[in-house]
Amino acid sequence: MPNPRLNVARQVLKARYFIEPLYQFNGLHYIYTMKILRTPDERYAGLADYPFNPNYTMIKTADGSELRIHHLDEGPEDGPIVLCMHGQPVWSYLYRKVIPHLTAAGMRVIAPDLVGYGKSDKPAALEDYSYENQVAWMGDWLENNDFNGITFFGQDWGGLIGLRLVVNHSERFERVVISNTGLPYNPNVADDVVKKIEDFRANAPTPSIIEMQKALSAMADSDPAQKFAYWQKFCWETENLPVGFMMSMMLEQPAAPMQAFKFLLHNLGMTNPLPTDVAKAYEAPFPDPSYKMGPRAMPSQVPMLPTSPSLEAQGKAWEFFSQFEKPFLCAFSDNDPVTRNAQADFLSKVPGTKGLPHTTIKGGGHFVQEMAPDQVAKVIVELIHST
């Protein structure tokens, strides 16, 4: 017999977690207009190790709104283009250590900020941040800048969105390098698992930052969709997502006493206690919680379940990559619990992976650009030179 409570939960979750813009109410159509926020420039003044000049592109959204997208453009103008895309909850600051290695090797580095992140504009509503919106926005950005002959590098959401750009604009790309990312497509998840995850999202209390971290650390061991649901729920339901604090704790790994003290201050209500330069930089794009809708919403757009509105598009993307013969290199780290072994699908299904020196990034963690920038750059440069 159907469970009415779970049926209600599914309807709620469709609205709360699988976000689709609404253009109709009680049979009446209306015009949806985005509210768009723009971080003041002074928030970026004096950031450590980020000496790069900004570049801006205006695009039009489906509702006619204008979005300003920021990108870095470093290195020789006539050098091979390397498109470096970041994930959630970071921005192009993530590539500050990789860029000097690439430009020294003669590469031209293009590093955009996704909409909702960094110096790019930030739609203010959670429902604006669908996977398909991000793909469309960044596709328009790519076309407007007319970049060609691209070697793509993507990690985390940078891979999810960037790989779809390769599908939609394949003539512009010559090579692909991915690290700690994926192209999720899960049409056959058992119904009881789907119900369990949906019930958890709808009814469980918001996990603490410690509970969320424990779940993510066990993702590769079993039930990845159920473990990842902790991250989705934590981000969605934490209004003032502690982006700078989380990135600092993950990347800088302070000594145990300082770590305990910072967690105590955080638990007492400080979003970014005793911030380091790294913590300040990753918190900089967000003057207040209203600017954080992108980082809050995007984890719930990862299509881990067959109920995802992106399921069909992901299936078509895999059909494309099953015939993709251009160089496609995997460079995953040896200690990222979130994407461990995720390269296996690419290595088995993408023809362009054959015969390439797929690399394990040593000690790269999840954000390899921070923890192993020299290794990341070496992989990219060697692939370009060898192909």
Active site residue 288: no
Who contacts 28 (Cβ-Cβ below 8 Å, separation ≥6)? none
* Preceding peptide of 89 cis, ω within 30°: yes
Catalytic one of 70, 128, 156, 266: 156
Tokens 């004096």 locate to 46
Active site residue 121: no
Q: Which member of 49, 366, 374, 385 is catalytic?
A: 366
Torsion angle of the four alpha carbons 72, 35, 302, 153, in this order, in degrees rounded to the nearest 10? -10
| 336 in active site | yes
Task: Tell me which residues are annotated as active site.
Answer: 156, 336, 366
